[in-house]
Amino acid sequence: MALQLHPIASHLHKPPSMTMSRPHNQQLRSRSLSPRLMASPVSNSPLLSPSKEIAKEKKPYMPPREVHVQKMHTMPPQKLEIFKSLEPWAEQNLLTILKPVEKSWQPQDFLPDPASEGFHDQLEELRQRTKELPDDYFVVLVGDMITEEALPTYQTMLNTLDGVRDETGASPTSWAIWTRAWTAEENRHGDLLNKYLYLCGRVDMRQIEKTIQYLIGSGMDPGTENNPYLGFIYTSFQERATFISHGNTARLAKDHGDLKLAQICGTIAADEKRHETAYTKIVEKLFEIDPDGTMLCLEDMMRKKVSMPAHLMYDGSDDNLFENYSSVAQRIGVYTARDYADILEFLVQRWKVADMTGLSSEAQRAQDYVCKLAPRIRKLEERAQARAKESTLCPFSWIFGRELKV
């Protein structure tokens, strides 16, 4: 998903993990890559019967996509054996993190009960609570929900990883069971936020639904190259990022008086934290087994820059939708450039990267780069903020075209 860029982008006035270089032609998305139905000109030939219906030529659907060279299957084949040998470890250390379905929360636990006589009163209470929430909060909550709703893309991404993919769709391997069960747990997040936003009546659900369809159709390439080392570093970072983001939307909902929404966002954040634990455990184990290879992959992912999975977000009109949504998230403190640096620093400490010894010279250089990166990001962000241009107003289709500062 990330372009092959210098890790410290020149756009650091927006969150590094939420900043994405656009395709070289800014109009690719709205013109050549957006789905269009193109009618071929109707011939005026007298040989054609006017009563005969002339079929229209349809242009193939082409979603927004990234313009860069994609690398594939970069993990040496001999390392496949590592992941095969880790099957028993995964069973004991990953599958135990999952919660049984019968003990798991479900979206309906937090929503008005449509089968109850008090449904309309519960619905009115929900709507009254959300009246106090500002538009900028809704834009960020909608963006978070859309990101969660693109779950089919994330399961697809995990199943590109060599050595751990679900080869049949119902494989009994520990890796495959984890991927399916993780997906099932995550699926509740988008379901719950989607229904809450629908019931509140404050957002344009059709525009939101269009955005979700565009996003899933666009897919993602996070630069993981079918390599599970890179893939699990990426997911470790992303689960931490979503934990922070949902935690902050919970805090803001509480500040604005919607305690039920605060509970919802906090519950989702707790799931993300649990999933973060699983993915960071995998990388920790890889550092134990293959410290050189894991260190080099960590450097590689950080040099490419970890991007948010929804960076190809599009609503049919705004070519810069993700950047604009990210700017609002930064402004109200839901996810910021500082969070990106904090996550990197957290993972470096979690995996004890700075303490590792006995590395090859190449891995030592990678170690040095990674350990110095977070402070560097913070310094560059401070300079970027000092040079930041004055905010401009931008309309968001999700809130019926109302304008917000970006």
User: Looking at the annotation, which residues are catalytic?
Assistant: 105, 148, 186, 189, 239, 242, 271-272, 275
d(CA 319, CA 325): 12
Helix (H) or strand (E) holding 404: strand 402-405
- Within 8 A by CB and 6+ apart from 125, the residues are none
Task: Give all strands (DSSP E) within 163-242, no chain letters.
Answer: none
Tokens standing for residue 210: 């269009």
The total of other beta-carbon atoms located within 10 Å of residue 173's CB is 19
Region label for 358, one of left (φ > 0), alpha (ψ between -120 and 50) or beta (otherwise): left
Phi and psi for 290 in degrees, rounded to 5? -140, 70
Q: Are strands 402-405 and 393-396 parallel, antiparallel or unpaired?
A: antiparallel
Collapsing DSSP states into helix, strand and coil, what is residue 393? strand
Question: What is the 8-class DSSP label of residue 394?
Answer: E
